[in-house]
Amino acid sequence: MNKKIIYILIFIFLIGGFLYSYISRISKPMVVENVLEKEVLVSVSATSTQEGGFKKTVKKTVAQSSSSPSNVENMYVVTYTENGFKPSEIKIPRGATIRFVNKTNTSMRIFANDNAKPPFSDLNQPKALGKNGEYTFNFVYSGVWAYYNSLDAKHTGSIVVY
């Protein structure tokens, strides 16, 4: 009788171990590597403020080209001027990044055209940026990304991602 109980307990223990192994394997989140993610060099500097604290300034190290990609990061720059976006139309490969730089004394806030749906509406800039403010966006989907400055709607642009 004792041997039967021991065999039953061993059997239950083995089945429980297999079930635990199976369930823990299928319940783990799948890790997907983002092949479009690129390393960006960041420099941090601290400056004192009048209150005696410190303000952290973060700057991305990128090329200063106005319409061509940087040699390493596939980075393009679109400048916002008093006359609008320069260049106002640009073609870039999928996976490239555009850095929008405000060179005016007014604010800039990039928005996809009003009828845009995801993923194109993902371009919408979360908050307005003043002079020398920068907004960076990585284009992972092909298509025509039409946009405008929501604070001055006559200034428009388009990005063709191929």
pLDDT in tens, 112-162: 997 889 999 999 999 999 999 999 999 999 999 999 999 999 999 999 999
How far apart are the C-alpha atoms of 137 and 123, rounded to whole Å?
7
pLDDT tens figures, 23-80? 666 544 443 333 333 333 333 333 434 444 444 444 443 333 334 444 446 999 999 9
Question: What's residue 46's pLDDT?
Answer: 39
- List the 75-81 sheet strands across, edge first: 84-86, 75-81, 97-102, 134-138
Taken in order of first residue, the domains within the chain and their CATH numbers are 65-161 (2.60.40.420)
pLDDT tens figures, 80-104? 999 999 999 999 999 999 999 999 9
- pTM higher than 0.85, yes or no? no
3-state secondary structure the chain: CHHHHHHHHHHHHHHHHHHHHHHHHHHCCCCCCCCCCCCCCEEEEEEECCCCCEEEEEEECCCCCCCCCCCCCCEEEEEEECCEEECCEEEECCCCEEEEEECCCCCECEEECCCCCCCHHHHCCCCCECCCCEEEEECCCCEEEEEEECCEEEEEEEEEEC
Question: What's residue 68's pLDDT?
Answer: 41
Question: What's residue 67's pLDDT?
Answer: 41
